[in-house]
Amino acid sequence: MQAAIRLAFEGMRSGQGGPFGAVIVKNGEIIGQGNNQVALTLDPTAHAEVVAIRDACKYLGHFQLDDCVLYTSCEPCPMCLGAIYWARPKAFYFACTKADAAAIDFDDQFIYDELDLPFAERRIPAYPLLREEGLKAFEEWRGKENKFVY
C-alpha cells in the first residue's frame, strides 16, 4: 500500500493527474503499477487502477490477474471497480474512501445515481438503436467454433 500511496504523490506532484496510485502484487512482487495519468494523457480512463491493470496484464501476458492482489490509494470509482472485476484479482485493498475523495472534489456518487435512472433520463441520455442488427454479431459468436472464451 505504501508503494501505491507513493505513486499517488509522484503523479500528483508531477502534474500527471489527481492524487491516486495503485500497484498489483503477485507472489510478493509488484508486477504492475500506475498513477492517475488523466491530465498527462488526456485520457479520462487513465485512472491509477486502470493504468496498473494494463501494466500488470502486459507483464503477465494475460488479461486476467489470477492470484494477484491490487493495492490502491483510494476506494475505486465505478469505472475502476468494473475494470477490477473484469481483471479478476483475488482481492484488493484501498487506503482512502470514496467519501475522502468526494471531500477533495473527486465525487463519483452521480455515476452511482445515474445507473438507477431510465436511459433517457440520465445526464447523458442513451437510446437503444439497431438492436436486431447488433444481435447478429452475438448470434455468430454463439455458434463460433474457435472463439476465445474469457
Catalytic residues: 49
End-to-end CA distance of the chain: 29
| DSSP-derived secondary structure for 99-139 | HHHHTTT---HHHHHHHTS-GGGSSS------HHHHHHHHH
Q: Rounded to whole angstroms, how far apart are CA atoms 92 and 52?
A: 13
Three-state secondary structure call for residue 51 = helix
Q: Give me the residue label for grid cell 492524487.
A: 19
